[in-house]
Each structure stands twice: as structure tokens, then as C-alpha cells.
Amino acid sequence: MARKSKSVHSESRNHPFCVGQKEYVMMTEDSFDIGSFNLALQDIRSVDPDSLLPLSIGVGWPHRLSDWLFLLENGRGLVALDTIGRVCASAMWFIQDDDYATIGMMITPPRLQARGTARHMMEHVIREIGPRAIGLNATRAAYRLYLNFGFTPERKVYQHQGIAVPSPSMPQPLNATGEIRDITPDDMAEIHRLDSTAYHADRRAILTHLITVSDGAVLTDKNRIRGYALCRKFGRGRVIGPIIAQNEADAIALTRWYIRKHPGEFLRVDTRHQNGTFRDVLSACGLQFYDTVTTMSLKRPVTTDNDFIDDNGPNIFGLASQTLG
């Protein structure tokens, strides 16, 4: 069945197009001027996904074509096209549940951002999201733009990445109780419950899709699931996330499960935990601190102080991605 998106302009024209086996309706807006540039907004799924790769490469992001395809399957978005049809900028949003959405893949070259392209696209994105609360992770380049739209900065996200080494010199890990095993279909209801409690939204649809493209594990104690983690191919290697755990000890145990599985491979973890043994273990195992972004919110907070109290779980120790949270 065709899935229709809302129009981004009262004078939009509808055109059918496909992504995979799904048919959509493309919404095309009349062109607009940004200084001396003439651009048009169009549904992101109407363009060849290969045309999106230069955008992420241009800003130094590691996304592969398969990473873009995953986002296109799970979100919506806009691209800005120039007069000869070249993709110049992008913005995406992801409906997590009826009350919450995230924004990501906001990519605008500096020369166009300075002329208001990003602001123009954000106006459309926020209008399409509607009354939902919004969360995002802001790069330094986009931070001021989001402030101007009323977003509130909350916490830093610390990106750790590198070649995984199960180092014997790593800090003595905290002792986690229980055992770790692969996810089974019978675990799904409890995983969704833990995730929605930690995430403060029911992202069931996107999480279910994430699990299908990931290696998943749960930490159990007396047949009770205390936490879970996923690991999937992304960018230069693999990303470990989400990591949902009751405390640091459990989060370390779940993360080391994958470090032991993928020694010598490039791994990445994005975490909002500023201090503690968890980040020390990441660094000792070759996943060095690389960069930060800032979690920001509109209409309600993304995080709470209780999210960072040990044994007050389930908590998010590792993000699914900076785009999805």
C-alpha cells in the first residue's frame, strides 16, 4: 500500500516513487531563493540514495550507503536541490512514538547554511513533526541554529572509537551479576519494556528494525533480563548501541561481550556518561575518546538526572546512534 507524507507546501505536486519494495508519494515544493542560489525542497526518498553519500562524506561523517538506506527505511526527510537537480543539503526526522521524534542527518554546506538554507529546512521539519516533543544531537556547526529554534542543551555525548583490544591492562571492571546470552524472540517484550523505560519513549518500531540488522545480547540474572545491547555494522566498522543496563557493571559486561567478539576491528560507542569506569574501560580497550555532540530538546527533556544514577536503571549507556538517540 502506498504511504503518503504530508505536503511541505500548499502548492506541492505529487509524484509516485519507490524505495525498495515500498511505494511513496513525493512532495515537491516550489523553488525558493537563498541569496543568489535557487533551491527546491523535495522528499528525501525521491532522490537516488547514492546522491546522499557526498553530503555525509563532505562533512566527514562515516555513513555508508547501507547506513543511509537504513535511515531512509525508518525515517522521513527533505533534500534541497539546485536548478540542475543536484542534492545540496538534507534533513531527516524519525517518529519514535505518538509524542516524540528525533531529528538527524541535518547536513548543509557552510556556504548555504550561512545563507539560511538550514533554517529554511528546519522550519519545514518542525512543522512536519507537529506537536511532538523533539530530541537531537547537535554538532558544533549546528548548535546555534538549534538554539535559535528554542532547543535546550542538556548533556554532552562522548564518542569513543578505535580498534578493539581486550586489554589486560584495562581497569578492574565492576562485577556484574548474571550471564550474557544471545537475544531470542521470547525476549522481545521485556527488551521493549526496558528500552521504553530508559529512552522515555516507546520506539518499538525502530528498535525492532534495529534488532533485525544487529547482533543482540541480553544480560540475565535468575532468568530476569537486566539489560541488553546491540552491535551492528556502521561506518568504518561496527557500533555498539543501544546499551541499556541497570548500572555501570552491567553496561561494562555487555560492552566487553562485543569487544571480545570483535578484537582488532573498528568499534564505536556513543555515551552520555561523563565520568566513571565505563568510559575508562572503553579507552583501555582501544575505543578512545574522539569527539562530542550536544543532546538538545524541544518541549520536554530527553534526559533526566536519574538517568545517571548507578543502580537506578534501566539507563542508556550507549546510544543507538547520534541520529536516533
Q: pLDDT band at residue 32, thresholds of 50, 70 and 90?
A: low
Q: Report the mean per-residue pLDDT for the chain.
A: 87
**pTM score, whole prediction:** 0.86
CA distance 151 to 36: 29
Q: pLDDT band at residue 28, thresholds of 50, 70 and 90?
A: very low
Interval 236-248: pLDDT, tens: 999 999 999 999 9
How open is the CA angle 80-74-226, to the nearest 5 degrees? 140
pLDDT of residue 136: 98
Q: pLDDT band at residue 117, thresholds of 50, 70 and 90?
A: confident
116-153 per-residue burial string, b: 16 or more CB within 10 A, e: under 16: bbbebbbebbbebbeebbbbbbbbeebeebbeeeebee
For residue 162 the three cell numbers come to 578505535
- Give mean pLDDT, residues 217-232: 94
User: Do 263 and 186 contact (CB within 8 A), yes or no?
Assistant: no
Q: pLDDT band at residue 36, thresholds of 50, 70 and 90?
A: low
pLDDT of residue 235: 95
- In a 10 Å sphere around its CB, with 0-12 CB exposed, 13-18 middle and 19+ buried, how is residue 212 labelled? exposed
How open is the CA angle 124-44-159, to the nearest 5 degrees? 85
Domains of the chain, earliest start first: 3-131 (3.40.630.30), 157-318 (3.40.630.90)
Interval 258-273: pLDDT, tens: 999 999 999 999 999 9
Interval 159-183: pLDDT, tens: 999 999 987 555 555 566 679 999 9
pLDDT of residue 245: 96
pLDDT of residue 22: 39
